[in-house]
Structure 1
Amino acid sequence: MLTFIRHHLSRSGHAALVSVVCLGVLLSACTPKEGIKTSPEITETMPEDEAEQQLWLAQRAISTERADYLLNALEIYLTREDYSNAERTVNTINTTTLSSPQYERYILLAGKLAMILDKPELAITYFEEAPSEAFTTAPLPTQLDAVELRANALLAAGRPLEAARFRAFNAGLFTGEAYWENHNKIWNALRAVPALELSRALEQPQDYDWQGWLELINQIRLNQYSLDQQLVALNQWRENWPTHAASQHLPDELQMLIELPNTRPKKIALILPLSGPLEKVGAAIRDGFFAAFYADAEVSSVSTEINVIDSEQHDSIIDLYLQLQIEDYDLVVGPLQKDQVSELALLPQMNPPVLALNYADTFELATPGLFQYGLAAEDEIRQILDYLDSQKKSRIAAIYPNAAWAEELVNTLKEREQGNDNFQLLSYEYTPEDSLSNGISALLDIEDSDERFRDIRNILGKVEFEPRRRQDIDAAILIATPTIGRQLKPLLAFHYASDVPVYATSQIYAGFQQKDKDHDLDNIRFTEVPWLLSQTIPLRSDIKYLAGINRYERLYAMGIDAYHLAPRLALMERFPSSQLPGMTGNLAINEKNQIRRQLEWATFENGQVKTLLTLSPQ
């Protein structure tokens, strides 16, 4: 037991311990006479638990040594993953008495705990409140640990520009492979910087190194819709910044980007339903795919063969895929139907690779060569829930239809509740036959308020009364079409819930402005594809030539993104942090090779849809 303590204590702390032990030996030699009560100080023994030993010693140490014991205990608790005791220990440390080395150790340990507890802002606060000289004279490994912790905290707190800037400023601390690893982390953080924030940073004077990084990410983004244009822009940037570290050694993702033209698929099979009940859906995706192809052909010298196949004309998707293998296709895009994607997912591997346009029903592990991308509304629900979680809103009223199209969305809501003890879902499932007013009233417990009023009136006679809704609802999530939404939003206000922030999925928006009708949707925040929110996308001009496309614009945008994803799948698989700012959202890949979307935010204001660049708390 003492051997362990010797490893953890300072020299002065070790001396204190030896004194304590010697005192115990001397006292044990003095056997008390029978009948005499031994004092608590004499009979008190050191705990056997390692962490409790440190706390025991801290209680008996002088103030300058006490912190060392507490920090030892904190480190032991962190190693054990005993975070409740670790948090209690952090709160007992008086930072005003810490020496510089102690304060640095405190920041690293307390900051690590804050990150584990998903409190990155707290970790940042530890650094911000530290003395200005903290870490300036610390050993190099300690300084590097501090850089990693603070940069990771900034990134986790949704401050990627600051994270990248901090890493770039401290890049000189790193050497060898660690230098280039930090190099890649700067790039990855820059990839997550919102466009508006990047634009503002570019307008400010910067030092050479940081300005070069900003110009690099900006050039890659400005040419994001064409692989060839991105490569031209990258080469131009390297000519303009020849001595920049990123020019001499590109981040790994950009190095692979240079190699992509050599691996770009030259023969693509596009499998879609072009007859039967899904004919118009398939046609919209096809038209979007070819719109992107023709736009790319104007700036690309690469020849690509695309063959369109009607999936409705084939009984077996497996047989069709095996035939495409024989015909030496480089990539298969499709199918669209979920059951066909599920069949393909049962194959042990995909060669040629497949970019399916839907998600398999059961898909636990990534099938090599199978990528899945679709307009899953579950992405929108997760985005809304993640935002509400970031705002500490945990009691959510969910209003959704009893309809097949909403099942996956509702399941996603319920999964979040099952996986989070702090999250509570209050549900109202409406049907076409429902009285929506009665349903909202029940959800908000208005009837209970009326009952209490009647009881009071029976006792006191005539009294003034205004019904009250339940007060514990933090926000509402609305899953509804525009027609139903125009009824539900006013009903929330009618039933005294006008102050409850309302969030909705893209089903709430018809896809085009209806100012006269959409006043009743005012102040609803919703997720939507960039394609429908921006009027400056060049390919949008093609829409006017496609009669009847309005109803299927999101699918048209999906076709565009499918084309842009095709040559980038290998890059995204190798670099999961790589993202494609697409027409259907910001596209990223997960560990199952599923492409997931982060959509843009919008709101209704005076009946018109307005894009929200940032979300202010409600």
Structure 2
Amino acid sequence: MLSACSTPCDAPGQLCAPIESNTSALPPPKPVPPPRPPRPPAPEAVTFAVAVPNITSYDEGGTPNVAPIPNKPATGIGQDMPPATAPAPSDGQLHHIGLLLPLRSETLGPAAELLRAGFMAAYERDRSGFEVSVTDTGETTSDVLNTFAQAQREQDIVVGPLARSAVTAVANSDLVTKPTIALNHPDNRDEARLPAKLLVMGLSIEAEARQVAAWAASEQPGASALILSAGAPSQRRISTAFKQEWLRQGGKVDVLELSAVNGYLSDAEMVQLRARLAATPPGLLFAALDADQARQLRVAIGSDLPLYGTSSLNPGAGRGASGPELDGVRLLDLPWQVQRDHPQVMVYPQPPQPNDRRLTADMERLYALGIDAFRVAREVALRQGAPFTLDGVTGRLSVRSDAGQLRFERTEQAASYQNGAVAVWPPANTPPAQ
């Protein structure tokens, strides 16, 4: 903010001198402070209301099995998966859901808007008996906590916030008195010590890497693993998570960080790696890389060794050069990305595309997270603490209450490169590995 000069001088950068006069000197007028900019009005909640509650009943099914299949990812929507069986409430209650997102944030606004679009797409499909209010959280910790506290007073269930720092602030507060679905993971918090009514269901690349490690260990028991990354912060997190789970599974592991310039792996290091693998081959490779780097790796070393990775190896349909180089590589990703022709995915509209560019695969995953966030919120509201499972567009979802603490688990979809594209694994008519 500009400050006013303490003497009557208009020329900036010049010394101010007293003004002489034949009459008595008048006292200089006091400087008038510049007007304060008007405080922006608080964002109004956008409410999507249903006048007459009419909960759609679910088909009757067996008792849900909330435990995921040990050491194995999901192998297709609906396989070995009981349907949700939440009964319709007999009192015709209208359930109020508050969705809290940083919609006006310069950095997170586009992601928040896309997640909101997914949430509302799911709401439009199963809106009977529910009312959704969408509110901007702001970006400062105090704004987030104030907005969250108000939502806890006014809503039956709260979904959000989205930013990791905001979720951390909520988790460290004593404000969580109603069921709350956080859309990210808090920093440095053991989920066993989170507030009892806080359910964390954000997408986690680290959780994905741990699932890949358990999957690979079930297919390659006792094998040694070589982890390859190119040094990006996200790749290091993926590498660390895989290594921790691989060691927990009882395997041996080594880590090699490769050099990359503008995303391209060093040719000299690829030659050295090829010689190393020929001399002492590990049981399998884990690529904490992006799709282009994994393709460079495969071209350099061949396809003799099993290669696993996370969704970072899938740039999305039409976003990378297709070809056979990655065929056989196994990875995990969301059903939304690898089962687009499945009926439970096709019932939802595709995300809105920006005018100037195509959505990235990660942005599409946030849209899918929005869809599942509403579906989980709906079930939590209807079931009042009872466990349930869902075939979600982000994976196989299970929610349970452990001694009063809400627990969430997501098992992502097994996939592999087949004929240059990512598809559900195992391929049709191929028995799974034993």
Equivalent residue number for residue 213 of structure 2: 385
Count of aligned residue pairs for this structure pair: 354
Residues of 1 paired with 2:378 and 2:349: CA distance? 25
Structure 1 residue 389: Cα displacement: 1.8
1:438-475 per-residue CA deviation (whole Å, 9 max, x = no partner) reads 4345556x26xxxxxxxxxxxxxxxxxxx93313x111
Is this contact kept in 1: 2:201–2:408, CA < 8 A? yes
Residues of 2 paired with 1:324 and 1:514: CA distance? 39
Higher mean displacement: 345-354 or 275-284: 345-354
Aligned sequence identity (%): 22
Q: Which has the higher contact order (CA 8 A, sep 6+)?
A: 2
Equivalent residue number for residue 376 of structure 1: 204
Counterpart AA for 1:506: S
Equivalent residue number for residue 420 of structure 2: 607
Q: What pairs up with 1:44-83 in 2 under 5 angstroms?
A: none
The 1:389/1:570 distance shift into structure 2, 3 A limit, reads farther
2:373 to 527, 539, 562: 562
Equivalent residue number for residue 405 of structure 1: 234
Residues of 1 paired with 2:353 and 2:254: CA distance? 46
SS of 1:527's equivalent in the other structure is strand
Equivalent residue number for residue 350 of structure 1: 176
Residues of 2 paired with 1:549 and 1:510: CA distance? 12
Greater per-residue strand proportion: 2
Equivalent residue number for residue 288 of structure 2: 479
Structure 2 residue 108 is matched with structure 1 residue 278: yes
The 1:521/1:274 distance shift into structure 2, 3 A limit, reads farther
The 1:604/1:314 distance shift into structure 2, 3 A limit, reads same
Structure 1 residue 582: Cα displacement: 0.7
1:291 to 103, 115, 121: 121
The 1:197/1:268 distance shift into structure 2, 3 A limit, reads closer
Equivalent residue number for residue 16 of structure 2: none
Equivalent residue number for residue 20 of structure 1: none
Is this contact kept in 1: 2:89–2:382, CA < 8 A? no
SS of 1:188's equivalent in the other structure is coil
Q: What pairs up with 1:147-226 in 2 under 5 angstroms?
A: 188=65, 221=83
SS of 2:148's equivalent in the other structure is helix
Structure 1 residue 310: Cα displacement: 4.1
The 1:607/1:191 distance shift into structure 2, 3 A limit, reads closer
Counterpart AA for 1:270: L
Equivalent residue number for residue 520 of structure 1: 325
Equivalent residue number for residue 237 of structure 1: none
Structure 2 residue 380 is matched with structure 1 residue 553: no
Unaligned runs of 5+ in 2: 1-60
Is this contact kept in 1: 2:236–2:288, CA < 8 A? no
Structure 2 residue 300 is matched with structure 1 residue 491: yes
TM-score, length basis structure 1: 0.51
Residues of 1 paired with 2:247 and 2:93: CA distance? 43
The 1:284/1:402 distance shift into structure 2, 3 A limit, reads same
Structure 1 residue 285: Cα displacement: 0.4
SS of 1:390's equivalent in the other structure is helix
Q: What pairs up with 1:35-114 in 2 under 5 angstroms?
A: none
Structure 2 residue 315 is matched with structure 1 residue 510: yes
TM-score, length basis structure 2: 0.71
Structure 1 residue 554: Cα displacement: 0.7
1:473-532 per-residue CA deviation (whole Å, 9 max, x = no partner) reads 111111211221221111221xxxx32111111111111146853432222111111011
The 1:377/1:402 distance shift into structure 2, 3 A limit, reads same
SS of 1:602's equivalent in the other structure is strand
Structure 1 residue 562: Cα displacement: 0.6
Counterpart AA for 1:543: P
Structure 1 residue 429: Cα displacement: 1.3
Equivalent residue number for residue 617 of structure 1: 433
The 1:546/1:579 distance shift into structure 2, 3 A limit, reads farther
Query: Which structure has the bigger radius of gyration?
Result: 1
The 1:190/1:358 distance shift into structure 2, 3 A limit, reads closer
Structure 1 residue 387: Cα displacement: 1.5
